[in-house]
Structures are given as C-alpha cells and as structure tokens.
Amino acid sequence: MDGLRHDRPLVSVMMPAFNSGKTVQFALASLIAQTYENWECVVVDDGSTDDTAVRISAIKDPRIRIVKHESNLGEAAARQRALEESRGELLAMLDSDDWYFPDKLEKQAALILREPGVTLVSCGMAVSDKNNDIIGIRAVGNGAINRYRKPGPLPVAHAPSLFRKTDAASRGYDLHLRSSTDSDFLRHLLLGRKYIVMPYVGYGYRELDSARLAKIVAGHYYNARGLAKFFRSNPFSIGWQIVQEMGKILVFLVAGPLGFFGFLIRRRSMPPDREEREYFLIMRAAVQAVYDRLGLEKGQ
C-alpha cells in the first residue's frame, strides 16, 4: 500500500506517557519497525518525574514529536492533547508500555482506505506477562463490516484501533472521567457508525504489568458513569448495564483480596495456540532487532 503524502503524514499515532522510562523506547522501536512508513507519533509526556523525556529524545526519528505537560494532568488530558496535536487523517493509539507488531499499521490503513464508509478498524491483542511471554489473545474479530447501533458493550478495544480523525473531531476525551475515558470516547465515536475488527493480532498488550485492583474497580465505576450519559434515551438498557458494572466491582472487591484477582484478569483473554505463540515470538524478535539497531539498552 502506498498512501504516502508529501505535506503531512497519513497516520498519527497518539501516545500518552507518564513515568514510562522503562518501556517507552521499545514502544517507539515498534513504530520504527513498521512496514508502513507514512506516520507520525505524538508523544505527550504527562508530567513524568523519571527519565521518560530523555529516553524519548534518545531516539532520533523526525516522525516522533514530544509534547510536554509541566504536571501530571491525567490520561484523558494526555490523550486529548495528542488528538489535538495530530496532523494525520487517520489516528491510532499506542500506550507507552505496549508495542505494535511490525505489519499493524500497513494492514489497518490499507483496509480503512478500501472502505470509505467505515469509521474504525481494530485488531486483536496479544496479552503478555511481566516476562514478555504471551499468555492470552483478546479482541480478535471476523473482518466483517458492522454498525454500532446503540450504546452498550463495546465491540472493539481502544488500544489497537485506527479511526478517521474527521469522525472524532466533534468528540474528544472527557476530562471529567478519571478512568475509562477510552471506553467513553469509543462509545461516542462509534455510535451509528460502521467498524471492522480484523481477524488478525497486531498489538502487544502488557496487561498484568498495569492491572491493579484499585485501577480495575475505578475502571468499572467510571465506565458506569460514562454509560449514564445515555440513560435518558435508553433507560432500561443502560440501567441494566450500569447494574452489571456495579456487580463487577463487587466481584473484584470480594474475590480480589481472596487471591482470585489474577484469575479474574486472565478470564478476559483466550489462551494462545501454538501458531499464535510462534507468530508473537517472530513479531517481537523483529521489533527487538530494530531496538538493538538503534543502540538502546536491552529490550524491555
């Protein structure tokens, strides 16, 4: 796929970063490893107190732009700033502790350009543990074109998605939500619009490094608050979904301290098969090779 532009990048990758010194370079190396090259990355250093900014600056690639917040404003503000600073027609997300498979942007951009009526293209995620071993597969689709007709459970994951900036221009990230801003954003972006979830895994997601009981509980609470925005138009459906979110909070609060937290987190994913494990290792090795070529420290 060509898609090259001389005046600006086609794809803008938005990356919020807070105290991500240990992982951000590998995330950026996975961008440099992309088979599709017409991208920019807007990294918002959200008031980091570690060496995040130094590690980003050590990667000399003009496609990477750093925007700094003097203090930590939170994930929603960082995502919103990245959205506003982005110049591409297509927007993608990459969290600073995750990474892309090298062919992710090429596959997604080619598909969304072939389907002008589609707002968003997402793909599956390979979930890894603290040792970077794959432990699960999540959010893989069948490649069909679907429409998100009413607010409810989201059919796509936020992190591996690519979408049209024109469709997101009128709706940003809600700065009043301290968590689940990604779900709230997607719910408004997709409502009434078409999307595709590819039968392809292209996003490396380090869930168990970031999963904490308090964070999970807050996520369900603020997801319920996001759903409440639609209560007047869909009182019965939305009311039931809010009850479900509260029930999930109760389950985590009771089962988490009893030692079942890891089990509950792992239930979100399907175990990888042999082929998926092998593909994961090949893709990670390709990113590691770029990381090593850049002369950075040992891959995270």
pLDDT tens per residue, range 119-152:
999 999 999 988 899 999 999 999 999 999 999 8
Assigned CATH for 11-210+270-293? 3.90.550.10
30: amino acid identity, one letter: S
Q: What share of the chain is helix, strand, coil (3-state, %, to 5)?
A: 40, 20, 35
N residues, the chain: 300
Residue found under tokens 């490893």:
33
The phi, psi pair for 78, rounded to 5°, reads: -65, -45
What is the band of 261 on the pLDDT scale with cuts at 50, 70, 90?
Answer: confident
Sign of CA dihedral 216, 218, 224, 229: negative
Evaluated on CA atoms 178, 180, 181, 187, the torsion sign reads: negative
Residue 273: which pLDDT band, with cuts at 50, 70 and 90?
very high
What confidence score (pLDDT) does residue 119 get? Answer: 97
Q: What is the per-residue pLDDT across 17-51, written as a single tens digit (0 to 9) for each?
A: 999 999 999 999 999 999 999 999 999 999 999 99
Report the percent of the chain where pLDDT is more than 90. Answer: 82
- Residue boundaries of the structural domains of the chain: 11-210+270-293, 213-266
Q: Is the pLDDT of residue 264 over 70?
A: yes
**From CA 171, how far away is CA 153, in angstroms rounded?**
19
Q: What secondary structure letter does DSSP report for 156?
A: S
Which of the 8 DSSP states describes residue 299? Answer: P
Q: What is the pLDDT of residues 91-104, one digit of tens each?
A: 999 999 999 999 99
Q: What is the pTM of this model?
A: 0.91
Convert the pLDDT of each residue in 201-239 to its tens digit.
999 998 755 568 888 999 999 999 999 999 999 999 999
The reported pLDDT for the residue numbered 4 is 46
- What does the block give as tokens for 244? 């479900």
Q: What pLDDT does 210 receive? A: 59
pLDDT of 52 strictly over 90: yes
